[in-house]
Amino acid sequence: MAEHNELGKKGEEIALQHLKKNQYTILETNWRFGKDEVDIVAKQDEMLVIVEVKTRSSNFLVEPEFAVTKKKQRFMIRAANAYIEEKDVNLECRFDIISIIVYSNNTVLEHIEDAFYPTL
C-alpha cells in the first residue's frame, strides 16, 4: 500500500476514535455510491453527520481541510442524498471535516462541524 494510503487509513482510525469518544454513533465507514465515497457516516443525537477526513504529514502548503474542494463537496452531497434515500433516514444532516496532521511525534486534529452547506 502506498505511503499516502497508509497515512489516510491512519487518519480515518484517529477520526473514528475521536468521534466515538465524543458520543457519535458510527453508522458506516467508506460508504460508496457509484464513484462517490463518504469516509464516515455517523449520528449525533438526532443529526446525521457526513464526515470527510483529510490527513497530511504537514501543513506546509495548505491546511488539510482546504483540500475539500467545491467538486468534492458536490460528490459528498450526492452520496449523502443517496445514503439518506437508500437507508430511509429521516434526520437533519450536516457535513463535517476532520483535519488531521500527523507529525513525527505529535498529531493535531481539528473537527470542523458544519464545514459547508449544500446549495440548491
Structural domain contains residue 41: yes
Phi-psi domain of 78 (left: phi exceeds 0; alpha: psi -120 through 50; beta: other): alpha
Overall domain count for the chain: 1
How would you classify the pairing of strands 25-33 and 36-44? antiparallel
Structural domain contains residue 120: no
DSSP result, 73-101 = HHHHHHHHHHHHHHHT--SEEEEEEEEEE
The pLDDT, as a whole number, for residue 4 is 56
The pLDDT, as a whole number, for residue 66 is 73
The pLDDT, as a whole number, for residue 82 is 96
The pLDDT, as a whole number, for residue 120 is 55
Structural domain contains residue 98: yes
pLDDT digit string, tens, across residues 51-64: 999 988 865 556 66
Residues of the chain under the 50 pLDDT cut: none
